[in-house]
Structure 1
Amino acid sequence: MADSVALFIDLENVVTSLWNIHHQTPDLYSWMEKARSYGPIAFGRAYGNFNLHGLANLESDLRNLGIDKFDCPVKQNGQSTVDGNIIIDLYEVALDYPAVRTFILMAGDSDYVRVVAKLRQRLDKQIVIMGVPGSVSRDLVRAAGREDQLDVASVPAVDEARLIRLIDEYERSRRPGTLPVFRFMKEYVSHPRNEDLIKPQFVENKLSQFVASGILVQRLVDLDDGRQVKTTQLDRTHPAVMQALE
């Protein structure tokens, strides 16, 4: 029988790195399959400031996977509290779960070098670093002794004309008075029924490309309460849009 595993996810680090380096959004289900290959998950926790939009959208997936959410609001000086909370939990789990030998750390920061080295050298824990390719500290990997990088999917070609028609369908289906913001468009396109066109983890990247190329146009709209909202809509005068919708 495989040893039990403790899983610690620096969600801010891996989500940000995945987007900045590979322009992809996370697939938590595939990450969990990779972690489970080392054994059953006896402890699993994801850390981050869940007031951030990119993390708040992952809460339902975390619940479905049985991973605890640990909210880490920033300090008044803007400093993140994620690293400190993970370091404390690494020590506490090592003490409270002595039978758990394998610790998986989904992160890439060198801030974890010292605690990882102590867990490995003093407590004889097997530490596996699972980070985003291109973002993982080599010192962290050396301290752990083992690395198993998170898989980054190759971006498949997308039928852009069909995607434009899907966005047009979204725009026409909106309820009166609902502003067409990027988030709602992304959620509509990311629905499982559209996976034959585009996988959810590639939607944000592709829509951002459409913004950059002018297929989608963004505007600031003034609301009655004084706030401004950025809307995102098809530019129906763009040649690619006109051709797709003719």
Structure 2
Amino acid sequence: MNFLTSLLLLCCFPDPLPPSPFNTLKVEQTESLLLIRSDTNRGASHATATIIDVPGRLAITSYHSIVNSHRLQALSIEFEQKDKKEIDSNPLKYQHLFMNKEAIPAEVVYSEPAHDLALIRLKQLPKEAKAIPLATAPLTPESKLYFDGNPFEKNLVWQRVEGTAGKVEPAKWVWPGGQALDTHTLISTAKSELGAGFSGGAVRNEAGELLALVIAGREKTIYSVDAATIRGFLERSKLLNTAKEPAQAKSSTVESDR
């Protein structure tokens, strides 16, 4: 098995994995996260989106999670436990919400496939939603970080996995579906493998800022689009801090610009 085929694109089509023993995120750590479902001719895939702009109802996710989508929906999962520290363990509760059309309609408003990034606009955001700020301080190799996302497991909606930062390096791949990637990724090590719904999930520093966006993994090695690339992507979109509805989704031809 070569390097590329051993990568796992962290969005999910198949049945969920068995229940996980890992702990989940605290309530305040989920206010910037959305679970998204993308319906395509292949079926439905699930991934994570990270809220980036509340006034504009915008969230960012991985492009490969939403490519060829003919219907895009999002869920903001609320907690129901007595201590409000762990997720509802009702199996596939969020699947029921999607199937009963209780999810929030969303649309892709800007994308750059070369960076595996897509910006989506939601019809509405929950009142408790908070945008996650981009990290401004330089990344220190070997520093602690956290991967936040949906592992797509039967009794687990949100999961936080601790990890260690590595280096930002160029990434030029072609995904199995033909999508060419020409970007920069933060290569980090997680304490455990990330589940298949983590794509589009937040990589945060200890201050809670966004260091990167998860796109792929190989065992405990995680590849995430770095903050500098995300910042450039958002600037080129020209959509932040505005509530205007664009006439149609935009797709950039930018290949290697950060």
Where on the TM-score scale, by shorter chain, does this alignment land: which range?
under 0.3
Q: What is the TM-score with the length of structure 1 in the denominator?
A: 0.25
Give 1 or 2: higher strand fraction.
2
Q: Which has the higher Rg, Structure 1 or Structure 2?
A: 1
Larger RCO, structures 1/2 (Cα 8 Å, 6+ apart): 2
Q: What is the TM-score with the length of structure 2 in the denominator?
A: 0.24
